[in-house]
Amino acid sequence: MQRLLARCELIYSKKQRDTICQVLEYAIEKHGDQRRVSGEPYISHPIAVANILIDLGMDYSSVCAALLHDTIEDTDATEEDIKKRFGEVITELVVGVTKLKRISFTSKAEEQAENFRKMFFAMAKDIRVLIIKLADRLHNMRTVEPLSIERQTALANETLEIYARLASRLGLSYIKCEMEDICLKVLHPTAYESLVKEVSLKRKERQIIVDKLCHTLRELMDEHKIAGEVSGRPKHFYSIYKKMNEKHKTFEQIYDLTAVRIIVENVESCYEVLGLIHSHWKPIPGRFKDYIAVPKPNNYQSLHTTVMTNYGTPFEIQIRTYEMHKIAEYGIAAHWKYKENSASVISEGEDRLKWLRGVINAQGEAAEPQELYESLKVDLYEGQVFIFTPKGDVVPLPEGSTPIDFACSVHSEIGNRCIGAKINNRIVPLETKLSTGDYVEIITSNNAKGPSRDWLRVVKTTQARTKIRAWFKKEMKEENIHKGKEMMELEAKRLGYALPSLMKQEWLDVVMHRYSISSIDDLYASIGYNGYSVHQILPKLIDFYRKEQKAKQPIKSAGTKRRSDVSGILINGEPDMLCHVAKCCSPVPGDEIVGYVSNGRGVTVHRKGCINIKYVDQKKLIDASWGAKRDNTFVVYLQIQANDKQNLVVDISTVISELKLSLISIVGKVDKNDMANLTIGVCVSDISEIDILIKKLQQLSPVRKVHRSSAT
Q: Is 454 a catalytic residue?
A: no
Residues 11 and 117 in one domain: yes
Report the alpha-carbon distance of residue 465 to residue 391 in Å, rounded: 25
Domain final position from 415, 440, 474: 474
The answer to whether residue 346 sits within a structural domain is no
In a domain? residue 337: no
195 shares its domain with 325: yes
In this predicted model, what pLDDT tens digit does every residue of 391-432 receive, in sequence order?
Answer: 777 787 888 899 999 998 888 888 888 999 999 888 999 999
Same structural domain for residues 600 and 655? no
- CA 573, distance to chain mean position in Å, is 52
Is the pLDDT at 44 greater than 90? The verdict is yes
- pLDDT for position 363: 44
pLDDT digits (tens, 9 = 90+) for 225-251: 999 999 887 778 888 888 787 777 777
Residue 257: count other Cβ atoms within 10 Å of its Cβ.
Answer: 19
The tens digit of pLDDT for each residue in 282-324 reads 888 878 888 888 887 667 889 999 888 776 677 889 999 998 8
Domain CATH number, residue 276? 3.30.460.10
- How far apart CA 446 and CA 419 sit, in angstroms, is 10
Q: Which residue has the higher pLDDT, 67 or 540?
A: 67
Q: Would you say residue 561 lies in a domain?
A: no
Are residues 90 and 39 located together in one domain of the fold? yes
Is the alpha carbon torsion for 122, 127, 130, 132 positive or negative? negative
Same domain, 542 and 603: no
From 143, 176, 209, give the residue that closes a domain: 143
Calculate ∠ Cα 492-494-497, nearest 5°. 45
Same domain, 400 and 510: no
pLDDT of residue 346: 37
- The helix/strand/coil state of 456 is helix
* DSSP H/E element including 676: strand 675-684
Cβ count near 472 (within 10 Å): 23
Which run of H or E residues covers position 639? strand 634-643
Residue 147 clears pLDDT 80, i.e. is over it: yes
Q: Which domain-ending residue is among 447, 474, 501?
A: 474
How big is the chain, counted in residues? 712
CATH value at residue 60? 1.10.3210.10
**Contact at 8 Å (CB) between 252 and 307?**
no
pLDDT at residue 352 greater than cutoff 50: no
Are 210 and 288 in the same domain? yes
Residue 255 lies in a domain: yes
Q: Is the pLDDT of residue 115 over 60?
A: no
Is the confidence at residue 610, as pLDDT, over 90? no
* Between residues 644 and 696, the one the model is more confident about: 696
Contact 16, 86 (CB under 8 A): no
Q: Is 387 helix (H, G, I), strand (E, B) or coil?
A: strand
Spot the catalytic one: 9, 18, 40, 73.
73
- Domain boundaries, position 580: 569-626
Q: Output the pLDDT for position 233.
A: 74
Q: Is 500 in the same domain as 456?
A: no
In a domain, 451, yes or no: yes
Residues 209 and 321 in one domain: yes
Q: Which long-range contacts (CB under 8 A, 24 or more apart) does 657-663 make?
A: 657/533, 657/535, 658/696, 659/689, 659/692, 659/693, 659/696, 660/491, 660/494, 661/535, 661/689, 661/693, 662/495, 662/535, 662/538, 662/539, 662/633, 663/535
Mean pLDDT within 355-378: 50
Residue 669 lies in a domain: yes
Are 140 and 155 spatial neighbours (Cβ–Cβ below 8 Å)? yes
Same domain, 288 and 267: yes
Q: What is the dihedral of CA 675, 680, 685, 691, to 10 degrees?
A: 0
Q: Which of 107-121, 255-269, 518-532, 565-579 has the lowest mean pLDDT?
A: 107-121
Smallest Cα–Cα separation from 135: which of 187, 188, 65, 186? 65
Residue-level pLDDT at 128: 82
CA distance 281 to 9: 48
Instruction: Flag whether pLDDT at 387 surpasses 90.
Output: no
CA distance 671 to 657: 27
Cβ contacts of 493 within 8 Å, gap of 6 or more:
499
Task: Please give the Cα distance from 97 to 123 (Å, whole number).
Answer: 9
Per-range mean pLDDT, top range of 23-27, 124-128, 330-334: 23-27
pTM, full prediction: 0.52
**pLDDT at residue 388 tops 60:** yes
Kindly state whether residues 200 and 272 are assigned to the same domain: yes
Q: Is residue 10 part of a domain?
A: yes
Q: What was the pLDDT predicted at 270?
A: 92
**Mean pLDDT over all residues of the chain?**
79
Amino acid sitting at position 309? T
Count how many domains the chain has. 6
pLDDT of residue 558: 40
Q: Verify whether residue 111 is a known catalytic residue.
A: no
Give the Cα separation of 168 and 164 in Å (integer).
6
Q: What is the end-to-end Cα distance of the chain in Å, rounded?
A: 46
Would the pLDDT of 339 be above 90? no
Classify residue 564: in a domain, yes or no: no
Per DSSP, the three-state class of 67 is helix
Residues 21 and 124 reside in one and the same domain: yes
Residue 362's φ and ψ, nearest 5 degrees, are: -70, -15
Range with the lowest mean pLDDT among 28-32, 122-126, 501-505, 630-634? 122-126
User: How far does Cα 7 stand from its chain's mean position?
Assistant: 35
Q: Which helix (H) or strand (E) holds 413?
A: helix 412-416
| Residue among 698, 552, 568, 686 at smallest CA distance from 624 | 568
The whole-number average pLDDT for the span 186-193 is: 90
Name the burial class of residue 194, with classes exposed (0-12), middle (13-18) and buried (19+) by CB atoms within 10 angstroms of its CB: middle
Neighbours of 644 (CB within 10 A): 17
